[in-house]
Amino acid sequence: MRSRFSALQQAQTEAAPLAMVTAVPTEAKPAAIQITPLQQMAPIPLPRPVNDRLIAAKDKLHKKLIEEMDLAKLEKLAPDLVMREIYNHVTVFAQEERLALNETEFSEFVGSVYDEMMGLGPLEAIMRDPTINDVLINGHQNCYVERAGKLEPINIPFKDEAHLLRIINKIVSAVGRRIDESHPTCDARMLDGSRFNAAIRPIAVDGPLVSIRKFAKKKLSLDRLIDVGALARPMGELLAAAVNARVTTIISGGTGTGKTTMLNALSAFISPDERLITIEDAAELQLQQPHVARMETRPANTEGHGEIRQRDLVKNALRMRPDRVILGECRGEEAFDMLQAMNTGHEGSMATIHANTPRDAIARLEQMLGMTGMPMTVASIRSQIASAIGLIVQLTRLSDGKRKVTSVAEITGMEGDIIQMQEIFRFNRLKTEADGTVVGEFRATGIRPRFLEELIAKGITLPASTFDPTKPIV
Question: Does residue 171 fall inside a structural domain?
Answer: yes
Question: Does residue 235 fall inside a structural domain?
Answer: yes
Dihedral class, residue 294 (left if φ above 0, else alpha if ψ from -120 to 50, else beta): beta
The β-bridge relationship of strands 403-415 and 391-397 is: antiparallel
* 3-state secondary structure at position 464: helix
Prediction pTM value:
0.78
pLDDT, position 49: 43
pLDDT, position 316: 93
304 and 287 in a common domain: yes
User: CA-to-CA distance for 238 and 256, rounded, in angstroms?
Assistant: 24
Reference 392, options 369, 415, 426, 368; nearest CA is 426
Question: Does residue 183 fall inside a structural domain?
Answer: yes
User: CA-to-CA distance for 104 and 53, rounded, in angstroms?
Assistant: 17
Q: How far is CA 351 from CA 52, 232, 391, 445, 472, in A?
A: 48, 22, 11, 25, 29
13 pLDDT band (50/70/90 cuts)?
A: low
289, 270 contact by CB (below 8 A)? yes
The CATH number of whichever domain residue 346 belongs to comes to: 3.40.50.300
Neighbours of 314 (CB within 10 A): 24
pLDDT at 191 over 50: yes
pLDDT at 284 over 90: no
What does the pLDDT look like over 123-150, one tens digit per residue?
998 999 999 999 999 999 999 999 988 8
Question: Does residue 434 fall inside a structural domain?
Answer: yes
The CATH number of whichever domain residue 170 belongs to comes to: 3.30.450.370
The β-bridge relationship of strands 209-213 and 195-199 is: antiparallel
Residue 54 is part of which domain span? Answer: 4-118
User: CA-to-CA distance for 467 and 469, rounded, in angstroms?
Assistant: 6
Question: Does residue 105 fall inside a structural domain?
Answer: yes
Query: Which class for 61: exposed (0-12), middle (13-18), buried (19 or more C-beta within 10 A)?
Result: buried
Which of 118, 135, 164 represents a domain boundary (last residue)? 118
pLDDT, position 74: 67
Range scoring the smallest mean pLDDT among 93-97, 216-220, 431-435, 468-472: 216-220
The dihedral of CA 130, 131, 133, 137: what is its sign? Answer: negative
Looking at residues 259-266, what average pLDDT do you find? 93
- Residues ≥6 apart with Cβ < 8 Å to 371: 332, 333, 335
What does the pLDDT look like over 303-327, one tens digit per residue?
778 889 888 999 999 999 999 999 9
The dihedral of CA 295, 297, 300, 301: what is its sign? Answer: negative
Q: Into how many domains does the chain fold?
A: 3
100 and 14 in a common domain: yes
Q: How far is CA 177 from CA 184, 185, 302, in A?
A: 12, 10, 10
377 and 280 in a common domain: yes
User: CA-to-CA distance for 338 and 143, rounded, in angstroms?
Assistant: 38
Question: Does residue 474 fall inside a structural domain?
Answer: no
Reference 454, options 242, 271, 248, 268; nearest CA is 242
Which of 84, 118, 152 represents a domain boundary (last residue)? 118
Which of 189, 213, 237 represents a domain boundary (last residue)? 213
210 pLDDT band (50/70/90 cuts)?
A: very high
438 and 312 in a common domain: yes
What does the pLDDT look like over 353-399, one tens digit per residue?
999 999 999 999 999 988 887 788 889 999 999 999 999 999 999 99
292 and 409 in a common domain: yes
User: CA-to-CA distance for 220 and 215, rounded, in angstroms?
Assistant: 12
453 and 308 in a common domain: yes
**Cα torsion through 77, 78, 80, 84, rounded to 10:** -10
User: CA-to-CA distance for 63 and 51, rounded, in angstroms?
Assistant: 19
Task: List, in sequence order, every residue forming a beta bridge with 145; answer none if it has no partner.
Answer: 135, 152
Neighbours of 47 (CB within 10 A): 19
